[in-house]
Amino acid sequence: EDQVTQSPEALRLQEGESSSLNCSYTVSGLRGLFWYRQDPGKGPEFLFTLYSAGEEKEKERLKATLTKKESFLHITAPKPEDSATYLCAVQSRNGANSKLTFGKGITLSVRP
């Protein structure tokens, strides 16, 4: 069974204070690892897909990296508008279902 564990559950940062969010996973054949951002009362918004260990992707202040066991979402010099819940999900190669198995999310709060 695919599993995703995210840590910490919540993170409070001062504006400009860089940090990293962790996503540990176990999956029977990784098809892709996804990062989503979710604002209160809204649906998850796609950020990145990573397919193989060593891959990195960047978008503004966010950078996602992937190893064989975990992924990190690095936030450089965050701003209050980066406050949200960040979800990590994996998709396995088993079967035709494109199901995403999600972690419980990390709630990030950035203080001005």
| Residue ranges that bind other proteins, judged by CB under 8 A | 31-32, 34, 36, 41-46, 49, 51, 87, 89, 91, 96-100, 102-105
In the complex, least distance from residue 28 CB atom to other proteins, rounded to whole angstroms: 15
Q: Which is nearer to other proteins, 30 or 78 (CB)?
A: 30
Q: Which is nearer to other proteins, 60 or 96 (CB)?
A: 96
Q: First CA to last CA across the chain, in angstroms?
A: 41
In the complex, least distance from residue 78 CB atom to other proteins, rounded to whole angstroms: 23
In the complex, least distance from residue 86 CB atom to other proteins, rounded to whole angstroms: 12
Supply 17's token pair. Answer: 């204070």
Give Cα 107 to chain centroid, integer Å.
11
Q: Which is nearer to other proteins, 87 or 108 (CB)?
A: 87
Q: Which is nearer to other proteins, 6 or 65 (CB)?
A: 6
CA 59, 30, 103, 111: dihedral to nearest 10 degrees? -20
In this structure, what are the phi and psi dihedrals at residue 66, rounded to the nearest 5 degrees? -140, 135
In the complex, least distance from residue 112 CB atom to other proteins, rounded to whole angstroms: 27
* β-pair partners for 91: 32
Give Cα 76 to chain centroid, integer Å.
15
